[in-house]
Structure 1
Amino acid sequence: MVELIYLASPYDDPDPALRAYRYIEVRNAAISLITSELFVFSPILHCHPIAQYGGLPTDFTFWEYFDKKMISVADRFGILELFGWKNSRGINREVEIALDHNLIIESINPITYQIEK
């Protein structure tokens, strides 16, 4: 059975260029994980275009309920460790939610996009 991994990553920043860069990096990580035979859900890949074109907020507070639901159906939880991930309020909250659902927190290398155990 193919597992669903929730792919967390830092995103929110006042600089739209940094948000766009993070979006591209998450896309690249998702491609790598999909070719490793995982189903991938990334709130950034799903919500960035919606927020950008819909004029919606980019902060975690706005998207938290949505993210909670998606984490609740995931089999795995991975963090793409881009610069800023340790201080990300969104990631910290997502980790709490993942742990509440008994998911193991996995690290994803930001250069190779591979899961590190």
Structure 2
Amino acid sequence: MIYLASPYSHPDPAVRDQRYLAACRAAVDLLRTGVTVFSPVVQGHALSRFGLPTDWGFWRRHDCEHLRRCDEVVVVTIDGWRESVGVSAEIQLAREFGKPVRYLTAGAERTAP
């Protein structure tokens, strides 16, 4: 299973919506290759519409469980990924759990150095 890490939190709801759509596109692209994908942004965005928080502090424990169970982490390198507290934490946790980390850009993918 691939854990799809991508930035989400932002004070502007329009930016959150754009990031959600980018995560959806990346998840669909990966699903079309036949792999299993879990995207916390895709799940969390839908649930946040019912009043759940959108920050890493709230989602950390939940996402950590998915990270433990995944085979690898793929980071979607859209605007904000380097500054994202959640993405940085997900990369760190992946390394702690011994999971490979790859980076996905528009139409390209590379393995972490």
**Smaller-chain TM-score bracket:** over 0.9
Counting only pairs closer than 5 Å after superposition, residues 45-64 of structure 1 correspond to structure 2 as 45-52=42-49, 54-64=50-60
Runs of 4+ in 1 over 3 A off after TM superposition: none
* Displacement of 1:76: 0.8
Report the Cα distance in structure 2 between the residues aligned to 1:75 and 1:91, rounded to whole angstroms.
Answer: 17
Higher helix share: 1
TM-score (norm 2): 0.94
Mark the runs of 5 or more structure 2 residues left unpaired by the alignment: none
Report the Cα distance in structure 1 between the residues aligned to 2:32 and 2:109, rounded to whole angstroms.
Answer: 13
Aligned twin of 1:18: 15
Report the Cα distance in structure 2 between the residues aligned to 1:56 and 1:32, rounded to whole angstroms.
Answer: 27
Aligned twin of 1:32: 29
Match of 1:116 among 97, 110, 113: 110
| Number of residue pairs matched by the alignment | 111
Deviation per CA, 1:55-99: give whole Å up to 9, x if none: 111000000000000000000101000011011111111111111
Amino-acid identity (%): 33
